[in-house]
């Protein structure tokens, strides 16, 4: 069976990630290199509307490292996808030029709908496929959160402008966040969900699948991990109650207390409270919408196969 060696880059608001893999003609993905750096490209974008020079340089430095790794492994196809922070930035031309110089391809500043499609493709190629559809795939990023519903292909999708970095910068300034700050942030998420429900019928969800760093960190916390173990987090099935308890606990901790958790990436400790808040509001709303439709949602699946895997698969 023939295969194609590809390099996929996912550049979000908080992190930039690389996957070099062989993708076979039947869609099987064999991972060769997977890495992540917290670069906080979206630093201040919600307030200023522009990418900060220091954030841009951090991101381009990581891109140059990724270009070297992809070349050394012999990747023949490369796709660089940029999401929420870059969509929102007036000076994204500087970013495009920098990526082109480093990697030799233009970054694709994708729409929220394309981001959702790629997330769905990645999630349903992994452990989520062991559960019944329709799937509601939730990709909770630093600047935006995508909701996409479908079984074999996406049937409805929406991108919400709420994420861990955006909500932290807007609302959660105390350490730990105060009650009023949390209430304002929750109101933002709930308003976004009200709009999303008009586009995506959440009540049809059979399996709720969460993706990305905030969700995987909540899952690691719920599992009681003392260090991050991808194999333990990927495919983990948690009760709704356990997810909500883990979210509430992380939101209520100080930054230092979060840093002391062995699984916590240092670059995520200051924004995981907001990420946990978004995830808890989404899980509650989906549970309630499913109940209103006559069903029951009792558990949540976490997937490490996500938009990065979707980008790699799209190259083949």
Query: Is residue 67 situated within a structural domain?
Result: yes
Query: Is residue 316 situated within a structural domain?
Result: no
Query: Is residue 74 situated within a structural domain?
Result: yes
For residues 73 and 163, state if they share a domain.
no
For residues 40 and 164, state if they share a domain.
no
For residues 173 and 55, state if they share a domain.
no
Q: How far from 117 is each of 111, 139, 158, 275, 280, CA to CA, in Å?
A: 10, 10, 10, 21, 23
pLDDT tens series, the chain, 316 aa: 788 999 999 998 888 999 999 998 888 889 999 999 989 888 887 788 888 889 999 999 999 999 999 999 999 999 999 876 677 788 888 888 999 999 999 988 887 778 878 888 889 887 777 899 999 999 998 888 999 999 988 999 998 989 998 999 899 999 999 999 999 999 999 999 999 999 999 999 999 999 998 999 999 999 999 999 999 999 999 999 999 999 999 999 999 999 999 999 888 999 999 999 999 999 999 999 999 999 999 999 999 988 899 999 988 7
For residues 103 and 154, state if they share a domain.
no
The pLDDT, as a whole number, for residue 51 is 85
Q: With 0-12 CB in 10 A as exposed, 13-18 as middle and 19+ as buried, what is 47?
A: exposed
The pLDDT, as a whole number, for residue 84 is 62
For residues 60 and 88, state if they share a domain.
yes
> Domain of 128: which CATH number?
3.30.420.150
For residues 89 and 210, state if they share a domain.
no
Structural domains of the chain, count = 2
Helices (H), the chain: 45-48, 53-72, 84-88, 92-103, 112-123, 164-170, 179-197, 213-223, 230-233, 240-252, 255-259, 272-292, 307-315
For residues 165 and 25, state if they share a domain.
no
The pLDDT, as a whole number, for residue 242 is 97
Domain that holds residue 125: 113-307
For residues 89 and 123, state if they share a domain.
no
Query: Is residue 297 situated within a structural domain?
Result: yes
The whole model's pTM is what?
0.86
Query: Is residue 312 situated within a structural domain?
Result: no
For residues 255 and 118, state if they share a domain.
yes
For residues 117 and 62, state if they share a domain.
no
For residues 154 and 270, state if they share a domain.
yes
């Amino acid at each position: 069976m023939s295969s194609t060696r590809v390099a996929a880059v996912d550049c979000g608001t908080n992190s930039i990630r690389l996957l070099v893999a062989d993708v076979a003609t039947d869609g099987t993905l064999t991972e060769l290199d997977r890495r992540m750096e917290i670069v906080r490209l979206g630093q201040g974008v919600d307030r200023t509307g522009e990418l900060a020079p220091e954030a841009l340089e951090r991101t381009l430095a990581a891109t140059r490292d990724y270009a070297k790794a992809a070349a050394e492994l012999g990747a023949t196809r490369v796709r660089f996808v940029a999401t929420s922070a870059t969509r929102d930035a007036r000076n994204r031309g500087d970013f495009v030029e920098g990526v082109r110089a480093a990697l030799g391809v233009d970054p694709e500043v994708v729409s929220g709908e394309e981001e959702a499609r790629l997330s769905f493709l990645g999630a349903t190629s992994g452990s989520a496929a062991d559960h019944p559809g329709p799937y509601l795939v939730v990709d909770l990023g630093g600047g935006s959160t995508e909701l996409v519903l479908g079984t074999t292909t996406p049937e409805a999708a929406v991108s919400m402008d709420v994420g861990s970095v955006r909500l932290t910068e807007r609302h959660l300034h105390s350490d730990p966040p105060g009650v009023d700050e949390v209430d304002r942030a929750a109101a933002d998420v709930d308003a976004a969900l009200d709009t999303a429900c008009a586009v995506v019928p959440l009540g049809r969800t059979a399996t709720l699948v969460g993706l990305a760093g905030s969700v995987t960190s909540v899952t690691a916390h719920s599992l009681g991990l003392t260090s991050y173990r991808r194999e333990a987090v990927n495919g983990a099935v948690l009760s709704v109650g356990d997810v909500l308890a883990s979210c509430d606990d992380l939101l209520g901790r100080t930054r230092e207390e979060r840093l002391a958790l062995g699984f916590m990436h240092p670059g995520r400790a200051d924004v995981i409270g907001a990420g946990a808040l978004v995830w808890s509001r989404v899980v509650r709303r989906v549970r309630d919408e499913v109940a209103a439709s006559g069903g029951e949602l009792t558990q949540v699946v976490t997937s490490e196969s996500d938009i990065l895997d979707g980008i790699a698969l799209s190259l083949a």
